[in-house]
Amino acid sequence: MTDRSSILITGGVGFVGSHFARMAHEAGRRVVILDNYSGGGAAQLSSDIPIVIGDIGDVALVRRVCAEHAVGAVAHFAGKIQVGESVRDPQLYFDVNLVRTLRLLAAVRDAGVHACLFSSTAAVYGEPTRVPIPETERRQPVNPYGATKLAIEYALDAWCHAYGLRWAALRYFNAAGAHPDGTVRESHEPETHLIPLVLDAGMRLREPLTIYGTDYDTPDGTCIRDYIHVQDLATAHLLALALIENGQTLGPVNLGTGHGYSVREVIDAARVVLGRDVPHAMGPRRPGDPPRLVADAARAADLLGWTPRRSGLEMTVEDALRSRRDGLTQTRRLA
């Protein structure tokens, strides 16, 4: 019998995917990555992890990688993540996130892979009627990014019923932080996540931060988000993967802390950690930004036995700052 114990990690393997790859590798799992690395991030990985540069929509390539590396499960991070960009260019998002994922699912099915861990998002909920948000909340995305992720969840459920695919869709709220040793950090290009933007502005590495919208129905008028540390996310991935590899289908699972922080609160936390002010300016709302997204993560606790350990706001900001300072030092050394 063929040993199919490798994990194929695919599509937009950036911040969370790189951390998951490292954690799985350190746990003794065999890992192979297939990505085009259009958003960067490959340099953060161990040289012991094989990387295949290619398109997840290349069915022949996916089949070959699955065969050569004895793949038994796929962890898919479906690539494009910028809300504003998805509103401006929905064709790009439906192509990269949905169309190519359908090709990936066809290829891994052909290769005899029956376990899929999917990186989904709280954006599938749109503007929720209940906060904290349970998995049973209505799903009405308000932007194409969320719509593509929800469409993939529908596809996974259909693959489950028709072909026996076991799956979990881990609905992230806001991934943040960095590895405690300063590596595996956020390095999107361009950077769009709030905490690294706040820290870079505070360190005078970029222009002052723009707060997009100060008239939301929240206590201080700015958007509220549930920030979950990347190490806690990676741990949840390993726990979920073990269950689906052992025959369970989990469906959608929220990953968050159950507590939200506003943009102004994140700026205040960064000011404390940096010991200096964070220059910022006010701007208009961005299309497709819900005012409040906070997780009800009770299902993750029940199913996975998972509790966030590093996701306090100050610790998350401290880890992110350490990683950005280390990254700046490395850049200066290379220069």
Percent of the chain having pLDDT more than 70?
91
Instruction: Measure Cα distances from 71 to 4, 86, 205, 315 in Å.
Output: 5, 32, 42, 36
- Given the candidates 3.40.50.970, 3.40.50.720, 3.10.20.30, 3.40.50.2000, the CATH classification of the domain at 6-176+228-255 is 3.40.50.720
The verdict on whether 145 is a catalytic residue reads yes
- Annotated catalytic residue within 93, 145, 212, 261: 145
Taking alpha carbons only, the member of 303, 34, 321 closest to residue 205 is 321
CB atoms within 10 A of CB 308: 24
pLDDT value of position 239: 98
- Chain Cα centroid distance, residue 58: 23
Give residue 44's pLDDT. 59
Name residues of the chain where pLDDT drops below 50: 1, 329-335
**How do the domains of the chain map onto residue ranges?**
6-176+228-255, 194-225+258-334
> What CA–CA distance (Å, rounded) separates 73 from 334?
37
Q: Determine the Cα angle at 311 with ends 76 and 259, to 5°.
A: 100
User: What gap in Å lies between CA 29 and CA 117, rounded to an integer?
Assistant: 15
pLDDT digits (tens, 9 = 90+) for 36-74: 876 555 555 667 899 999 999 999 999 999 999 999 999
Q: What is the DSSP string of 267-317?
A: HHHHHHHHTS---EEEEPPPTT--SEE-B--HHHHHHH----SS-SHHHHH
Contact 135, 157 (CB under 8 A): no
Mean pLDDT over the full length of the chain: 90
- For the beta carbon of residue 39, count every other beta carbon within 10 angstroms: 19
Fold matches, 6-176+228-255 and 194-225+258-334: no
Q: What is the pLDDT of residue 217?
A: 93
Residue 169, pLDDT score: 98
Measured in whole angstroms, how far is the alpha carbon of residue 113 from the centre of its chain? 22
pLDDT tens track for 199-256: 999 999 999 999 999 999 999 999 999 999 999 999 999 999 999 999 999 999 999 9
* CATH class in words for 194-225+258-334: alpha beta
Positive or negative torsion for Cα 83, 291, 256, 23: positive
For 221: left if phi > 0, alpha if psi spans -120 to 50, otherwise beta; the answer is left
Amino acid type, 105 = L
